[in-house]
Structure 1
């Protein structure tokens, strides 16, 4: 028996407006071969009949891709289960009626029968969590990445474990051993990309899987743990697998940042021969002077400039108690804003994409001759390494520069946090206490 999801209609290659119904086809030997329409419709140029999903190599909205691919998997799983558990004789209308039961269960069953019969999968509960749990846009996006990783884990188990061809995760069945197996998959996913390409064609990402360090894995599983806490709190399950799967704290190295003199050296570097790089240099220096995260920086508009200061609500705090951060602009920051006052549209500055911005920052640091060696912790191996500053410079270095230099002057985390958007009591400042030899010398001098 095989269930397929197909599109019968074809359109011209450049037709992006037409839609066609997605049909379910059920075949079982030579005796059974029937087709019936689902409630799904899609532009035929987006659909891959062979893979039964939105084409993996086509530009498409992530939410749209996820919706269609998830719904197709649910329909196939439902029809396969219904067919395998059938008791009545198969008629020519069986598939049409089965789909009607899928879409309109109340026509065929009582509320009690529906509740007793239906058990949501873990990923279906994850979708409910994403809908009902208050999350910022950025955090919701991060959770969707984890959801896709869990879906790939299911496909990996089906492909590699005997007797588990129909493997699906259910919330009540997840054990500490399941979590350990998922951890192994997440840790080694970059290897499986080449071994099992069909998995990544089915559940694609914008970039191929890369080696994940322990901190990244801990972050992923802390989010999965949050999902389980939500399920416990909302009576979705009594299962608490994380009770026997403890997560340690992430390990970070001492934060490095550039000094005010180094920042000024960057600003004074002659980049006239590279005008686009000069623009991004100005933006980086501006970020050093207001201390925001790059996601907040790129979204800044002229309306964020109010009475000589930048005002914004950090995206990271929006889902909790929104905090408005107001940072007065010093002379250099005002000079940069004035230089680009005629910037196209409503943008505060001529921003580019985050990825291109990070590439430009490395070039800027190299042009400025910032070759100082710094000690960093390799995120994958967790071992200390010595790296040249311009090789590892990024947009987040601007935020650390703002926080580090302010903290060095005032040594008050709450005051600095009011300017940087850190929450009161943030653990981040514990790391900054380790970074300043001058501060340590001041303390030792008190003993004289």
Structure 2
């Protein structure tokens, strides 16, 4: 059996390249990345004459005579030592197979098993990814952020914990270590997230433990991309705070999110909901009024549930959006229209500090909104992008309703009347030139007619 070294072209953030190993024995010929990294100055290509007298060349690892920092020399020796142990491990694994069929992917699987069985030798490799996520959530402002943002990080961590538990079924000593993460590992995590709901059903044990229980639903590409972005934020923070040496996302290209044209209530539809008689169910009447108020001020639900009477000053709603208060804290001021003022007066209570009585959780609020629109007869058909398949599908408006539809209703109707992004951004809190705002901008039929009429 023979081994041959190859060097991958991509570099990580430390300027190292990954070593690829080729294993040959008889008709068996497999090659795989090793997750061992080295600086290019230690890689030399040497020429030699093969058994047939033909000139050939191989990559070898060599220590230059001078011009190398002591720290780099230490890393070189660690890599060379790890590579020698890896080759011995592969040889032992091959001999233990006793001439059984070697399937495709055997070498990559053996290398992964080697890393899972190895005791981490570098201090930075001892940083467990789950521990890094916990530290990030505790030290940064995640826990003080909006409910949806904190929940997003918690869900991302849960997926990573389940991934680690799933890998441990095959490799009992597997740990997800930051020093061993690379592009192939991140792709494997993405692949697991796509099938996480199926894996939980097939291997219930990966969903056992504190924080791992709960319903697991199929995830669309946008959801997976968003979770990988959150993981990237954690790894970037780890590098900046010197908790880990390099960022595996430096060579990782994530997918692009795909969004359809936002759908929202017209002013006529909003008034139908506002005037619908819900006197038979005070719960629905309260939730309807809160939804209509949100349609009139355009705030996110995370801000809506924290509004107090102190946020209303001289007939104007003043608040700082929780989503942007860390990076771009801007006070958003929205004058209250007649409808919003009537709703506030209806629920005014000097013994209560919040604008409205207690409401359901964010998810409960979303479910009630669907019921409210359905009962009010808002059944217009709209074309939306299916989050799982990314195919265009036709749905009733109430079926795709949520608290964020109130924000879209506010933005969409104002822009439809005034067609000025800068003015609308002052009321919505979007940054100038925001890509997110562009999704709200719908060039409707009326605007198209005006554009064509302008050149008549």
Q: Unpaired segments of 5 or more residues in structure 1?
A: 1-113
- Match among 425, 439, 451 for residue 443 of structure 1: 451
Q: Secondary structure at the match of 1:264?
A: helix
Equivalent residue number for residue 353 of structure 2: 346
Cα distance, 1:207 vs structure 2:
3.2
Is 1:316 aligned with 2:333? no
Contact 1:151 1:203 in 2 (8 A): no
Is 1:427 aligned with 2:435? yes
Is 1:225 aligned with 2:232? yes
- Match among 127, 147, 151 for residue 161 of structure 2: 151
Is 1:256 aligned with 2:266? no
Is 1:411 aligned with 2:419? yes
Equivalent residue number for residue 180 of structure 2: 173
Larger Rg: 2
Contact 2:194 2:218 in 1 (8 A): yes
| Deviation per residue, 1:101-126 (Å, 9 max, x gap) | xxxxxxxxxxxxx9969932222222
User: What does 1:181-220 correspond to in 2, within 5 Å?
Assistant: 181-205=188-212, 207-220=214-227
Q: Secondary structure at the match of 1:316?
A: coil
Q: Secondary structure at the match of 2:389?
A: coil
Q: CA separation of 1:205/1:157 partners in 2, compared to 1, >3 Å: closer, same or farther?
A: closer
Equivalent residue number for residue 289 of structure 2: 282
| Deviation per residue, 1:175-224 (Å, 9 max, x gap) | 11111111111111111222222221214356311000000000001111
Cα distance, 1:320 vs structure 2:
1.5
Q: TM-score, normalised by structure 1?
A: 0.70
Q: Secondary structure at the match of 1:225?
A: helix
Q: Secondary structure at the match of 1:317?
A: coil
| Deviation per residue, 1:369-415 (Å, 9 max, x gap) | 11110011011111111001122221111000000011112222222
Equivalent residue number for residue 389 of structure 1: 397
Q: Secondary structure at the match of 1:374?
A: strand
Q: Distance in 1 between matches of 2:228 and 2:240?
A: 18
Contact 1:267 1:281 in 2 (8 A): yes
Q: TM-score, normalised by structure 2?
A: 0.69
Q: Distance in 2 between matches of 1:438 and 1:206?
A: 50
Q: Unpaired segments of 5 or more residues in structure 2?
A: 1-120
Q: Distance in 2 between matches of 1:383 and 1:179?
A: 26
**CA RMSD, 1 decimal:** 2.2
Contact 1:344 1:350 in 2 (8 A): no
User: What does 1:53-92 correspond to in 2, within 5 Å?
Assistant: none
Q: CA separation of 1:117/1:204 partners in 2, compared to 1, >3 Å: closer, same or farther?
A: closer
Equivalent residue number for residue 368 of structure 2: 360
How many residues align? The count is 332
Q: Distance in 1 between matches of 2:437 and 2:234?
A: 28
